[in-house]
Amino acid sequence: MALNYYKNELKENAQLLASKGKGILAVDESTKTVGKRLAGIGVENTEDNRKAYRGMLFTTEGLGKYISGAILFEETLYQNHQDGESMVKKLNHLGIIPGIKVDKGLNPLPGGGDVETFCSGLDGLVERAAKYYEQGA
């Protein structure tokens, strides 16, 4: 019974994400990367400023006409907008399906010098994915 529910939900989400004329908004920048965006406009890289930046995006009028899904950074998934409503609900109001970046970033590859890296985050993924789903991703 539960398996059929998840299959149906997955099918519906896939159809919504692939809606004609819509794209996916990648707002999964790490704290360091979004800090570069904020620095470019003279804004300090604090959690409150990152929240305000993402909240501005998620309350843009008409965004749902062009965006079907949003890939979030873990910090954003658990944040509330300045008005107290969760960022996930802000996206839901616009008809946008929130997703989540599940990797934990790049790390130096042992023996790879300063050039080679690997993507970490497989450890604990099953448990994190369950929490992400519970949070609305």
**Confidence bin at 120 (pLDDT 50/70/90):** confident
Whether residue 48 is contained in a domain is answered as: yes
**CATH no. for residue 69?**
3.20.20.70
Whether residue 123 is contained in a domain is answered as: yes
- Which tens digit of pLDDT belongs to each residue from 87-113? 999 999 999 999 998 888 888 888 878
Whether residue 5 is contained in a domain is answered as: no
Whether residue 95 is contained in a domain is answered as: yes
Whether residue 108 is contained in a domain is answered as: yes
Domain that holds residue 117: 20-135
Whether residue 103 is contained in a domain is answered as: yes
Q: What is the DSSP letter of 21?
A: T
Whether residue 10 is contained in a domain is answered as: no
Distance between CA atoms of residues 55 and 59, nearest Å: 6
- Which tens digit of pLDDT belongs to each residue from 34-87? 999 999 999 999 999 999 999 999 999 999 999 999 999 999 999 999 999 999
Tell me the pTM: 0.83
> HSE (CB half, 13 Å, CA atoms) of 113?
1
